[in-house]
Amino acid sequence: MSDLTAVRDLTAVDVLVNPDGTTLRHAHTWNARMRESVPDGFALDASHQPHITTLQRYVRTADLDDTYDAVRRTLAATDTGALSYRAVAVKHADWGVPGQGLAVILLRPDPQVLDFQAALLAAISPFTESGGTAAAFVTDPGESISRSTLDWVDGYVPAQIGPDRYTAHITVGFATLDDLGTIEAEPFDVFTVRPAAVAVYQLGNSGAARKLLRTWPIPN
């Protein structure tokens, strides 16, 4: 294998938090509502897990085992009992589909979450590259990876790193912009989100956590 081929053999990974059961129920409820708006939008299921992204990167596929070990060591050095978030609203972002938005439960991370993110970035950076292609992602037959997805992973650092940049969220599906305007104007019941596990997934389109690679449960 040439050096050029090795550099391009990348896997798009998401180091993420799997939330507690109460939060999962909230996410599935919101996903059902989004699918009333856009019936062919994705359902939250085994290949579209509700999750809280902490870090996305293109990792050299040959270095995946080293990446998992770096995550494991970072987690072992973290006070996981201090990691928590507050769910504060449903918001959306335009994601390349005319007339639709990608809806999320917006979270406010505690400072310890940002410390954890910084530690993960330092730990896995030796195994990362830029310039990932569709081959780095999980795809369904005939599916293409959108340019916005490719660019999002490449630009996650520094765009989503640290205070005032990191937008913690749980993606809950697509809805029309008209329906989202109604949803976002409704009162939102704030709740606390706590982690049940940290995991590494291979990404699919629109930042979906498609394929579980490693997971580490967090004791209650």
Q: What is the pLDDT of residues 1-46, one digit of tens each?
A: 334 444 469 999 999 999 999 999 999 999 999 999 999 988 888 7
Let me know: does 162 contact 117? Beta carbons within 8 Å. yes
User: For 3-213, which CATH superfamily applies?
Assistant: Cyclic phosphodiesterase (3.90.1140.10)
**Rounded CA separation 121/141 (Å):** 32
- Per residue in 76-120, pLDDT tens? 999 999 999 999 999 998 866 789 999 999 999 999 999 999 999
pLDDT above 50 for 186 = yes
pLDDT value at residue 206: 79
Sign of the dihedral through C-alpha 120, 124, 126, 132: negative
Question: How much of the chain, in percent, has pLDDT values that exceed 90?
Answer: 85
pLDDT value at residue 8: 62
Angle at which helices 177-185 and 21-37 pack, to 10 degrees? 140
pLDDT value at residue 7: 43
> What global pTM score does this model have?
0.89
pLDDT value at residue 6: 41
CB proximity list for 78: less than 8 A, separation 6 or greater: 112, 115, 116, 119
Question: How much of the chain, in percent, has pLDDT values that exceed 70?
Answer: 95
Section 186-199 average pLDDT: 97
